[in-house]
C-alpha cells in the first residue's frame, strides 16, 4: 500500500460525450480530481444531436441535461473545453499531461448567454448542429442547452471586426487572448473520445450529396428534433413538403468488407426503428415507413419487443440488398432498386431516404491514441485487452465508449463506469488527496420566532429583461409588498459581483428569505442557493421569479402586459417566499462494507474491484462453489481461455484479505437503506453493509423443442462446447453438425433476444472446423446477430465453409431421429423448398433465462424485475447498473443476457457505482422532502405503494417517510386520501397563495 499512496489522486478524461461524463461523475463522486478535456467548445458529444432514444423514446436532451449540469457543477471536476492532449509523460500512476488550451475569446465565466453578440455579428455560416438546414453566425451558441452556457467564436470564420465585443455588456469578449499550454499531474487516463459517422458520399450509389432528400440518420434526427431546423416538423429538404413515404437503408458503411469496414455498428437497426416510429408519430397519417435491412439486429434489452411494436404500428421491414438510390425522372421522388433474398429485383419510390450510417473512430480519438501510443484494432478502434472490458495496451490508461468499438448509450455508460472503477482501483489509496477541500460553512441562521424579512433582487440581464420590463419600477413595487424589507436591481445578478451584492444585502437588511427575479431556476437556482447558504441562510429559503425565459423573451411584442405579468410573477414568488420553511439536511453514517450476491464471474469481479479499493466485501454464493455459469465455458468470444481466466479469478477472490466468501448462503431478510443495510442469512448471521450488488447470474434454458432430452445427440451450446473440449467421440467423430438458433428466444413466451447465441454458435462452428476441417457445419438462424467486431467471425465462418440457412418462424426446422443419424428439415430461404440434412449432432442455441430466485431477491431488496424476470434498472439508458432504490446495484446476466466480457464490464461498473456510496462518510438527503402528519394518517398504505423510491413505510400505525431516500416528487402528497402528507414548501397554502397572486394582475388592473 505504501507505493500506492504515492500515486496521484487525479484522472484525465479525454472526451466529454456521455461516456466521458459518466466516467467523470463516478470518479469525482468517489474522491478523485477529474480533468475533463474536450476538444470542442461545449461538453456533451453526440447525445444532444439525437431527438429521442430507443427503446423508451425518451427525449435525448431531457434525460441528458441533468447529467450535464451535475458534471458542470461538480467541485471535483475541472472542465477544460477547446483543449487537446498534447503529450503524456511520466509513468503510470504518476503521469504528467501537457494540454493545449485554445483561446476561446469569450470568457464562459462572464458570458451570460444573452446573445447580443450574435445579434450584431455580420458573418453568417452553416449551422454545424443542424447541418445544411439552418444558419448561424461566426459567434454562436452550439445549441440552446449547451454547457458552458456561453457563446463561442468560430476562429476560422471570425472577421475580428470587434462589433460583438463592443456590444457585450459584461465584457466577456477579449480578442487578445492567447492559446495556453497547461501541465497537469494525473495518475490515470480514461480515453472516451467517441465516434464519428461514416461519410456516405464515398459510396456514390446511395446518392448522398447529390439528392437533397437523401439524409444520414443523424441529419434525420435533427430534422425530427423540436430544436431542429423546422422545430420538429417533418419536411423534405428539397421542397419543404411533408413526405408521404420514407425509407431507411441499413448497413451504410457497416458490414462492408469491400471498403474494409467489416464490422457491424450495432446501433443502427434500433435507431432506424426508433426514427420510423417517431416519424409515424410526427408525419402524416398514412406515412409509409420501410426499413431495408440485411439482418435485423435488435439484440439489446427490450429491443425485440420494440421491433414487434414497430411492426404492429406499420413499420415495414424488408430483408434485402440495395443496389442504388436514384432520382425519379423529373426530380420529384427517389427510387430504391433492391433485390429480395431470392434475388428478385424490385424498385420502389420514396419521398425521403435515410441512410443508417455506421460509426467509426473519431479523428480526435485517433490523434489522442497516437499520442498515447495505444494499440488499435484493424478498424482503428481501441478494443480493450481481452476479458478486461476497459484496459488498453498501456498501464494506467483505460478506454470507454465508442472509442473502444461501436456501442449504444447504455453500453457506453456501463463501460465508462468500469473505466472509472478501474482507474480508481489503480489509484487506490490516493482518493481525497487532490480534490478541493470541503468548505466548512458557518451555521445556518436560526429563524425560530422571527418574522419573514424578504429581499427581492430584480435582474436586468443586460437588456434581456430590462429591454421589455421596467426594472426600476418593478423593484420599487416589489419593495412595497408585505414581508419585503429590501428590493433592488442588478445588471447581472448571476455574476460574481451580483452574488457579492446579494450577500451584502442579506447582511445589511438582516434578510431571512430571498427572491431573485431573473431567468430560470432550472439553470440558476443552485448558484443562488449556494450564495445564500454562504451568507448563513438555509438553501431552501429562496425563490425565483422567471421574468426572462417565461416573460420578457416571450412577450417582446406586448411590453404592457409583459410588465403586468412580471409583477404577478414577482408577487407570487414573494407570497411563496414568506411561507418557505428551512429544510433540514439529514445525514446518515455509511457502513463502508459491500455485499455482493452471486459468486459467478460478475460477482467475483465486482468483489475484487471493491476489495482492491480497500472496501470489505461479503460475497454470497448459494451453491457450494464459486464460478457460476462461466464454469461451463471453454472459450470466450475472442478466443480467450475461460477456464484459465476463471481459476485465476476464483483464486484471487478466495485469497483476498478483504473478501469474505460465504458459500451455501441464502438471504432471509433485508432491512435498512442505502449506507446502512442489515442482511440476515439463513443461519441467522447478520451482515451490515452500505451497498449491495446483485449478480445472481442466469441459466441456459432447458429446451423442450427439437428432441432435446429425448435424444442424446441433441445438445445445448454449452453442452456442445464441453463435449468439443473433451473431444467426446460422438462429437469429435461427427461428420455433420447442425446448430439451430433462437431456441426459446424471440418467442411469445420469451420475447427477447438472448444476444450471445449467434456469436457463440459461430465460435463453435469455427472450433469444429479447427478440430476437424472436413466436418459439415450448418447454422439455422432467423437473423444472424454477430454485432460489433464479432461480424468478422461470421465472415470467417462463411469463408471456411460453414453454411448459414435462414428459417422463418412459420416453418421452423424439424429434427427427427432417423436411425443412425438425425434428420433435420429446414425450408431454405433462397431456394424456398425444404432441405434435408443428415446430422450426427444438433446443437441448440437455447435462450439465456433469469434464475427464479430473482423474484425473492427483488422482494427482499425492494427492487423490481422486468416481465422476463431480469432486474429492472433505474434508467435503461443512463443508469443501467443502478436500481431506483438507492444503494442497490446490478451486474451481469441478472440484468439481461450478455457475454462474459460484457458481464465483466458491468461488474466493474456496478462496483464503481457502489463505491460512490461506500467512499462517503455520510449520506445527505436530497432537499425538499415529503412529511407526514401522524395524527391524520390512516395507514392506508397508498404512499407505501406509490413511492418510486420505497421511502414510505408504516411504523407504529402511521406512515413515515425516510428523508434520506425521499427525492421530493410529491406523488405521495398528491395522492394521500386524507391529506396527511405534504411536500415541504409546496404545501396547499403555498400554492393557493401563489395562484391568488398570479390572478390579480388583470382583475385589479394593477399596472406596474
Partner 1 sequence: MKGFEPQIVAFCCLNCAYSAADLAGSMRRQYAPNVRIVEIPCTGAIDQGVLLQAFEEGADGVFVAGCLEGDCRYQQGNIRAKKRLKALQKILDETGLGGERLEMFNLSAAMGVRFAEIADEMTSRIRSLGPSPLKRKWKGSAPE
Which residues are at the interface with partner 1 (CB under 8 A)?
51, 56-59, 61-62, 65, 144-145, 225-227, 231-232, 520-523, 546, 548-551, 553-558, 560-562, 564-565, 568-569, 572, 884, 928, 946, 948, 967-971, 973-976, 979, 983, 986, 988, 991-992, 994-996, 998-1005, 1007
CB nearer partner 1, residue 137 or residue 548:
548
- The shares of helix, strand and coil residues in the chain, as percent rounded to the nearest 5, are 30, 25, 45
CB nearer partner 1, residue 940 or residue 998:
998
Q: Closest separation between CB of residue 687 and partner 1, Å?
A: 30
Q: Is 1005 helix (H, G, I), strand (E, B) or coil?
A: coil
Burial of 158-190, coded b for 16+ CB within 10 Å and e otherwise, reads beeeebbbebbebebbeeeeeeeeeebbbbbbb
CB nearer partner 1, residue 55 or residue 253:
55
Q: Closest separation between CB of residue 273 and partner 1, Å?
A: 17
CB nearer partner 1, residue 121 or residue 334:
121
Q: Closest separation between CB of residue 816 and partner 1, Å?
A: 46
CB nearer partner 1, residue 256 or residue 884:
884
- Closest to 733 in 3D by CA, of 826, 635, 839: 839
For residues 19 and 57, the answer to whether their CB atoms sit within 8 Å is no
- Closest to 632 in 3D by CA, of 755, 726, 752: 726
Q: How many CA atoms lie within 13 A of 772 on its CB side?
A: 18
Q: Closest separation between CB of residue 115 and partner 1, Å?
A: 9
Q: Closest separation between CB of residue 482 and partner 1, Å?
A: 17
Q: Closest separation between CB of residue 813 and partner 1, Å?
A: 38
Q: Closest separation between CB of residue 809 and partner 1, Å?
A: 29
Q: Closest separation between CB of residue 761 and partner 1, Å?
A: 35
Report the residue count for the chain.
Answer: 1008
Question: Which grid cell is 790?
Answer: 464479432
Q: Closest separation between CB of residue 929 and partner 1, Å?
A: 11
Which residues lie below 8 Å from residue 216, measured CB to CB, with a gap of 6+?
197, 200, 208, 354, 355, 357
Distances (CA, A) of 569 to 114, 484, 514, 546, 995: 21, 15, 14, 7, 10
Report d(CA 724, CA 726) in Å as an integer. Answer: 5
Q: Closest separation between CB of residue 585 and partner 1, Å?
A: 18
Q: Closest separation between CB of residue 127 and partner 1, Å?
A: 14
Which residues lie below 8 Å from residue 365, measured CB to CB, with a gap of 6+?
15, 191, 193, 194, 195, 382, 403
Q: Closest separation between CB of residue 451 and partner 1, Å?
A: 24
CB nearer partner 1, residue 351 or residue 997:
997
| Dihedral class, residue 939 (left if φ above 0, else alpha if ψ from -120 to 50, else beta) | left
Q: Closest separation between CB of residue 958 and partner 1, Å?
A: 19
Q: Are strands 397-399 and 352-357 parallel, antiparallel or unpaired?
A: unpaired
For the beta carbon of residue 730, count every other beta carbon within 10 angstroms: 12
CB nearer partner 1, residue 431 or residue 962:
962
- Closest to 738 in 3D by CA, of 780, 793, 706, 797: 780
The DSSP code for 590 is: P
For residues 898 and 892, the answer to whether their CB atoms sit within 8 Å is yes
Q: Closest separation between CB of residue 703 and partner 1, Å?
A: 35
Q: Closest separation between CB of residue 557 and partner 1, Å?
A: 6
Torsion angles phi and psi, residue 967, rounded to 5: -105, 5
CB nearer partner 1, residue 341 or residue 987:
987
Q: Closest separation between CB of residue 522 and partner 1, Å?
A: 6
Residue appearing with cell numbers 439529514: 586
CB nearer partner 1, residue 419 or residue 930:
930
The DSSP code for 966 is: -
CB nearer partner 1, residue 125 or residue 946:
946
For helices 521-534 and 60-73, the axis angle rounded to 10 degrees is 20
CB nearer partner 1, residue 894 or residue 976:
976
The alpha carbon dihedral of 158, 160, 166, 168 has a sign of: positive
CB nearer partner 1, residue 56 or residue 585:
56
CB nearer partner 1, residue 453 or residue 555:
555
Which residues lie below 8 Å from residue 117, measured CB to CB, with a gap of 6+?
106, 139, 151, 164, 165, 167, 168, 173
Residue appearing with cell numbers 420475447: 751
CB nearer partner 1, residue 569 or residue 797:
569
CB nearer partner 1, residue 67 or residue 829:
67
CB nearer partner 1, residue 141 or residue 908:
141
Q: Closest separation between CB of residue 170 and partner 1, Å?
A: 18
Which residues lie below 8 Å from residue 958, measured CB to CB, with a gap of 6+?
932, 934, 937, 939, 980
E strands of 460-503, at which residues? Answer: 484-490
- Closest to 694 in 3D by CA, of 745, 794, 766, 621: 621
- What sections of 105-194 are H helices per DSSP? 116-120, 163-167
CA geometry: angle at 68 spanning 65 and 71, to 5°?
Answer: 150
Question: Which grid cell is 231?
Answer: 422545430
CB nearer partner 1, residue 442 or residue 557:
557
Residue appearing with cell numbers 455506421: 358
Amino acid at each position: 500500500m505504501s507505493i500506492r499512496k504515492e500515486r496521484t489522486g487525479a484522472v484525465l478524461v479525454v472526451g466529454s460525450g456521455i461516456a466521458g461524463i459518466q466516467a467523470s461523475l463516478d470518479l469525482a463522486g468517489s474522491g478523485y480530481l477529474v480533468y475533463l478535456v474536450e476538444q470542442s467548445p461545449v461538453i456533451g458529444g453526440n447525445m444532444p444531436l439525437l431527438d429521442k432514444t430507443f427503446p423508451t423514446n425518451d427525449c435525448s436532451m431531457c434525460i441528458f441535461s441533468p447529467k450535464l449540469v451535475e458534471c458542470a457543477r461538480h467541485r471535483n471536476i475541472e472542465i477544460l473545453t477547446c483543449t487537446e492532449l498534447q503529450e503524456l509523460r511520466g509513468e503510470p500512476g504518476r503521469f504528467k499531461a501537457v494540454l493545449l488550451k485554445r483561446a476561446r475569446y469569450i470568457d464562459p465565466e462572464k458570458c451570460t448567454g444573452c446573445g447580443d453578440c450574435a445579434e450584431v455579428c455580420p458573418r453568417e455560416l452553416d449551422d454545424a448542429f443542424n447541418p445544411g438546414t439552418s444558419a448561424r453566425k461566426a459567434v454562436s451558441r452550439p445549441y440552446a442547452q449547451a454547457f458552458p452556457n456561453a457563446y463561442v467564436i468560430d476562429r476560422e470564420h471570425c472577421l475580428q471586426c470587434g462589433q460583438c465585443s463592443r456590444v457585450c455588456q459584461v465584457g466577456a469578449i477579449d480578442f487578445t487572448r492567447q492559446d495556453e499550454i497547461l501541465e497537469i499531474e494525473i495518475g490515470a487516463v480514461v480515453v472516451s473520445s467517441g465516434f464519428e459517422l461514416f461519410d456516405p458520399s464515398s459510396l456514390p450509389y446511395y446518392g448522398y450529396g447529390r439528392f437533397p432528400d437523401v439524409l444520414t440518420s443523424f441529419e434525420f434526427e435533427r430534422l425530427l428534433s423540436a430544436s431542429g431546423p423546422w422545430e420538429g416538423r417533418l419536411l423534405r429538404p428539397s421542397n419543404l413538403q411533408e413526405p408521404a413515404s420514407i425509407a431507411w437503408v441499413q448497413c451504410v458503411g457497416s458490414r462492408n468488407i469491400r471498403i474494409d469496414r467489416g464490422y457491424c455498428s450495432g446501433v443502427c437497426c434500433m435507431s432506424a426503428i426508433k426514427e420510423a416510429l417517431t416519424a409515424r408519430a410526427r408525419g402524416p397519417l398514412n406515412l409509409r415507413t420501410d426499413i431495408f435491412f440485411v439482418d435485423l439486429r435488435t439484440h439489446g434489452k427490450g429491443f425485440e419487443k420494440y421491433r414487434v411494436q414497430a411492426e404492429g404500428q406499420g413499420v415495414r421491414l424488408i430483408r434485402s440488398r440495395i443496389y442504388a438510390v436514384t432520382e425519379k425522372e423529373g426530380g420529384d421522388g427517389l427510387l430504391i432498386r433492391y433485390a429480395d433474398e431470392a434475388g428478385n429485383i424490385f424498385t420502389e419510390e420514396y419521398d425521403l431516404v435515410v441512410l443508417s450510417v455506421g460509426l467509426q473512430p473519431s479523428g480526435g480519438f485517433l490523434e489522442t491514441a497516437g499520442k498515447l501510443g495505444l494499440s488499435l484494432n484493424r478498424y482503428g478502434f481501441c478494443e480493450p485487452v481481452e476479458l478486461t472490458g476497459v484496459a488498453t495496451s498501456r498501464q494506467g490508461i483505460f478506454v470507454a465508449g465508442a472509442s473502444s468499438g461501436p456501442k449504444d448509450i447504455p453500453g457506453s455508460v456501463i463501460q465508462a463506469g468500469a473505466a472509472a472503477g478501474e482507474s480508481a482501483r489503480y489509484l487506490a489509496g490516493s482518493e481525497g488527496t487532490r480534490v478541493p477541500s470541503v468548505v466548512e460553512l458557518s451555521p445556518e441562521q436560526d429563524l425560530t420566532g422571527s418574522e419573514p424579512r424578504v429581499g427581492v433582487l430584480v435582474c436586468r440581464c443586460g437588456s434581456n429583461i430590462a429591454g421589455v420590463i421596467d426594472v426600476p419600477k418593478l423593484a420599487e413595487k416589489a419593495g412595497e409588498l408585505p414581508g419585503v424589507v429590501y428590493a433592488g436591481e442588478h445588471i447581472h445578478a448571476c455574476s460574481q459581483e451580483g452574488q457579492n451584492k446579494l450577500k451584502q444585502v442579506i447582511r445589511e437588511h438582516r434578510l431571512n428569505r430571498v427572491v431573485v427575479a431573473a431567468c430560470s431556476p432550472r439553470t440558476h437556482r443552485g448558484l443562488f442557493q449556494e450564495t445564500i447558504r454562504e451568507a448563513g441562510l438555509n438553501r431552501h429559503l429562496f425563490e425565483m421569479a422567471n421574468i426572462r425565459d417565461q416573460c420578457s423573451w416571450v412577450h417582446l411584442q406586448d411590453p404592457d402586459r409583459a410588465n403586468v405579468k412580471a409583477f404577478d410573477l414577482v408577487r407570487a414568488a414573494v407570497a411563496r417566499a414568506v411561507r418557505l420553511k428551512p429544510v433540514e439536511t439529514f445525514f446518515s453514517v455509511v457502513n463502508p462494507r459491500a455485499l455482493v450476491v452471486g459468486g459467478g464471474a460478475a460477482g467475483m469481479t465486482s468483489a475484487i474491484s471493491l476489495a482492491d479499493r480497500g472496501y470489505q466485501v461479503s460475497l454470497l454464493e448459494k451453491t457450494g462453489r464459486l464460478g457460476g455459469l462461466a464454469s461451463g465455458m471453454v472459450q470466450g468470444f475472442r478466443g480467450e481461455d475461460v477456464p484459465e481466466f476463471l481459476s485465476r479469478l476464483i483464486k484471487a477472490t478466495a485469497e483476498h484479505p478483504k473478501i469474505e466468501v460465504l458459500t451455501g448462503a441464502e438471504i432471509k431478510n433485508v432491512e435498512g437503506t442505502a449506507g446502512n443495510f442489515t442482511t440476515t442469512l439463513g443461519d441467522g448471521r447478520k451482515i451490515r453493509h452500505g451497498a449491495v450488488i446483485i449478480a445472481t447470474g442466469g441459466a441456459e434454458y432447458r429446451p423442450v423443442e427439437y428432441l432435446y432430452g429425448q435424444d442424446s445427440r441433441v445438445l445445448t451450446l454449452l453442452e456442445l462446447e464441453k463435449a468439443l473440449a473433451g473431444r467426446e467421440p460422438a462429437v469429435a467423430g461427427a461428420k455433420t453438425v447442425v446448430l439451430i438458433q433462437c431456441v426459446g428466444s424471440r418467442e411469445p413466451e420469451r420475447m427477447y433476444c438472448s444476444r450471445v447465441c449467434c456469436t457463440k454458435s459461430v465460435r463453435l462452428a469455427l472450433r469444429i472446423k479447427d478440430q476437424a476441417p472436413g466436418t459439415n457445419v450448418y447454422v439455422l438462424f432467423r437473423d444472424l446477430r454477430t454485432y460489433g467486431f464479432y461480424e468478422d467471425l461470421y465472415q470467417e465462418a462463411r469463408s471456411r465453409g460453414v453454411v448459414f440457412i435462414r428459417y422463418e418462424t412459420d416453418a421452423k426446422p424439424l429434427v427427427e431421429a432417423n436411425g443412425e443419424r438425425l434428420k433435420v428439415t429446414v425450408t431454405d430461404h433462397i431456394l424456398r423448398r425444404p432441405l434435408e440434412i443428415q446430422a450426427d449432432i444438433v446443437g441448440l442455441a437455447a435462450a439465456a433465462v433469469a434464475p427464479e430466485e430473482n423474484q425473492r431477491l427483488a422482494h427482499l431488496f425492494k427492487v423490481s424485475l422486468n416481465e422476463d424476470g431480469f432486474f429492472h434498472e433505474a434508467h435503461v439508458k443512463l443508469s443501467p447498473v443502478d436500481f431506483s432504490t438507492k444503494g442497490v446495484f446490478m451486474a451481469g446476466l441478472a440484468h439481461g443476457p450478455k457475454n462474459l466480457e460484457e458481464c465483466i464490464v458491468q461488474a466493474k461498473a456496478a462496483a464503481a457505482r457502489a463505491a460512490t456510496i461506500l467512499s462517503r462518510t455520510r449520506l445527505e438527503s436530497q432537499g425538499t422532502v415529503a412529511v407526514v402528519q401522524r395524527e391524520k394518517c390512516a395507514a392506508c398504505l397508498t404512499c407505501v405503494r406509490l413511492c418510486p423510491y420505497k421511502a414510505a413505510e408504516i411504523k407504529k400505525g402511521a406512515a413515515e417517510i425516510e428523508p434520506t431516500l425521499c427525492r421530493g416528487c410529491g406523488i405521495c402528497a398528491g395522492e394521500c386520501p386524507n391529506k396527511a402528507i405534504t411536500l415541504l414548501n409546496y404545501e396547499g397554502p403555498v400554492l393557493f397563495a401563489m395562484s391568488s397572486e398570479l390572478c390579480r394582475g388583470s382583475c385589479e388592473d394593477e399596472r406596474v
